[in-house]
Amino acid sequence: MYAQTQENQGSRCRRDDYGKCIIWSIPFHRLSILEDVDRNMHMDLIRNRSEYLRKLVDKDTEEKNQQLMEYAQTDWNAIVGGK
């Protein structure tokens, strides 16, 4: 008779924040974009495509936020003229 296996307590970490996986759809006529992504990724010393895409989104978001701040600071009365 074999010894009874002991129950394993498993991980005590009860977090459920694992992130998200998304599908990136690339049309057939644009498949060369993957080669561009890989080349740019290696030139920027980034380990994987996911990290590279996150970096691009962060950079673009920062630029858009800067544009919004400039837009909010624009004095439209000085440009268009007051009443």
pLDDT digits (tens, 9 = 90+) for 4-24: 666 666 666 677 677 888 899
Give domain status of residue 61, yes or no.
yes
Q: Which domain holds residue 41?
A: 29-74
Summarised one tens digit per residue, pLDDT across range 54-77 is 999 999 999 999 998 888 887 766
Give domain status of residue 51, yes or no.
yes
Q: pTM (2 decimals)? A: 0.63
Phi and psi at residue 72, to the nearest 5°: -70, -30
pLDDT exceeding 90 applies to what percent of the chain? Answer: 53
Give domain status of residue 9, yes or no.
no
Give domain status of residue 8, yes or no.
no
Give domain status of residue 81, yes or no.
no
Residue 52 neighbours by CB under 8 Å, 6+ apart: 37, 40, 41, 44, 46
**Nearest-angstrom CA–CA distance, 54 and 61:** 10
Give domain status of residue 17, yes or no.
no
Tell me how many domains the chain contains. Answer: 1
Give domain status of residue 57, yes or no.
yes
pLDDT exceeding 70 applies to what percent of the chain? Answer: 73
Residue at 69: amino acid letter: M
Phi and psi at residue 7, to the nearest 5°: -70, 135
